[in-house]
Amino acid sequence: MKRLSSVISILIALLMVMNISAYATGGEGGGDSALTLVSAKVGEADLEGSKIPSGSEIVLTFSNNVTDETVLANNISKIKVKNAEGTEADCTVSAGEEKTVLTVTLGTISKGDYTLTIGKELKAKNENTLGTKVEIAFSVKGDGSGTGGGNNPLSLVSVKAGNTDLKDAELEGSGIIVITFDRGMNENQSANFEQIGIYSEDGTKVVSGITFSDFTKNDEGNSYTELKYEGLKGGKYTLKLGKDLKANNGNTLGEDVVISFSIASQEEPSFIQRILDFVMNIINTVINFVKDLFKR
Whether residue 131 is found in the same domain as residue 162: no
Give me the amino acid identity at 177. Answer: I
Segment 153-210, tens digit of pLDDT: 788 999 999 989 999 999 999 999 999 998 888 888 999 999 999 999 999 999 999 9
Say yes or no: 164 and 251 in one domain. Answer: yes
Q: Quick check: is 296 in a domain? A: no
Residue 161 and residue 108 share a domain: no
Domain count, the chain: 2
Q: Are residues 169 and 200 in the same domain?
A: yes
Q: Based on the domain organization, do 104 and 182 belong to the same domain? A: no
Q: Are residues 176 and 126 in the same domain?
A: no
pLDDT digits (tens, 9 = 90+) for 19-40: 444 444 344 445 678 999 999 9
CATH number at residue 109: 2.60.40.1220
pLDDT of residue 250: 85
> Is 14 contained in some domain?
no
**Predicted structure pTM score:** 0.45
In a domain, 25, yes or no: no
Residues whose CB is less than 8 angstroms from the CB of residue 230 and which lie 6 or more positions away in sequence, other chains included: 173, 174, 209
Q: Is 57 helix (H, G, I), strand (E, B) or coil?
A: strand
Residues 129 and 190 in one domain: no
127 and 186 inside one domain: no
Same domain membership, residue 171 and residue 117? no
Given this model, what pLDDT does residue 269 score?
A: 61
Model confidence band, residue 220 (pLDDT cutoffs 50, 70, 90): confident
Q: What angle do CA 235, 157, 256 make, to 5 degrees?
A: 60
Choose among 192, 182, 156, 175: nearest CA to 237. 175
**57 occurs within a structural domain:** yes
Reported as type and span, the H/E element at residue 112 is strand 112-118
**pLDDT > 90: percent of the chain:** 59
Residue-number span of the structural domain to which 230 is assigned: 156-263
User: For the residues of 209-247, what is the DSSP string, one character each?
Assistant: TEEEPPPEE-TTS-EEEEEEE--PPSEEEEEEE-TT-B-
Q: Dump pLDDT digits (tens) for 257-277.
A: 999 999 998 665 666 777 887
Altogether, the residues listed in the chain come to a count of 296
Asked, for residue 20, whether it belongs to a domain, the answer is: no
236, part of any domain: yes
Q: Does residue 119 sit in the same domain as residue 180?
A: no
Q: Do 63 and 128 have their domain in common?
A: yes
CA dihedral 198, 201, 202, 206 (to 10 degrees): -20
